[in-house]
Chain A
Amino acid sequence: KQEVTQIPAALSVPEGENLVLNCSFTDSAIYNLQWFRQDPGKGLTSLLLIQSSQREQTSGRLNASLDKSSGRSTLYIAASQPGDSATYLCAVRLSSNTGKLIFGQGTTLQVKP
């Protein structure tokens, strides 16, 4: 059974710091992996999607990497800002035959001014 783990559960950093969020999954046979952002009281917004054949994806100050063989992904946030404060979730999709996403519990990030 695929399990997705995110460590740490919470992280607090000063503004301007570069940071890395971690995601690990137990079964390397995935179709793709996505990172989402969730603001308090809101739904999820997709940030980056990495197909299983890719190693990384970038969007602005965000960079997500994928190492399928080791079952790990990281989300790198450069020059963090208070507006980056949110919960970040990773999710894996097992195959193209299913629309189901399996989510980690998330990392709650606080960026202090």
Chain B
Amino acid sequence: DAGVIQSPRHEVTEMGQEVTLRCKPISGHDYLFWYRQTMMRGLELLIYFNNNVPIDDSGMPEDRFSAKMPNASFSTLKIQPSEPRDSAVYFCASSPTGFRISGNTIYFGEGSWLTVV
């Protein structure tokens, strides 16, 4: 399997622009996570889905952030309008069925490096 695939890998955008990050989870995984990593705050969970349904979005920083999962093989994280403080690495990750019960592991993509100037 190709693993979790994220795009774009790098994006530089101007403040106020809309940013859309994309993720394709590993086939057959029914949990999908969006994490953000910064030097100051480390890795933080933004939102996660189970079977395409958002389960916990308490980490989404504000209304400028939104995430969707229209089907089992695709998710987006959108920032509108973007601000310099949104500059970070955004990771998508997925886990298989049984994650909640047996503690199966989680597989991360290589991240989308966002710079807002």
Chain A residues engaging chain B, CB cutoff 8 angstroms: 31-32, 34, 41-46, 49, 51, 89, 91, 93, 96-106
Contacts and interface: CB of A to CB of B under 8 A. Distances in A.
B100 A99 contact: yes
Contacts of A51: 103
A77 to B, nearest CB: 19
Given A43-B109, A44-B91, A103 B43 contact: yes
B82 interface: no
Q: Which of B4, B59, B101, B105 has the most A CB atoms < 10 Å from its CB? A: B105
B4 A98 contact: no
A93 B99 CA distance: 11
Overall SS of chain B's interface: strand
A99 B103 contact: no
Contacts of B59: 100
Given A43-B109, A99-B50, A100-B45, A49 B103 contact: yes
Interface of B: 4, 31, 33, 42-45, 48, 50, 55-56, 59, 91, 93, 95, 99-101, 103, 105-111
Nearest to A34: B105
Contact of A105 (B4, B42, B99): B42
B18 to A, nearest CB: 25
Contact of A98 (B56, B101, B110): B56
Nearest to B104: A49
Contact of A93 (B31, B42, B56, B103): B103
A49 B105 contact: yes
Contacts of A43: 4, 91, 93, 108-111
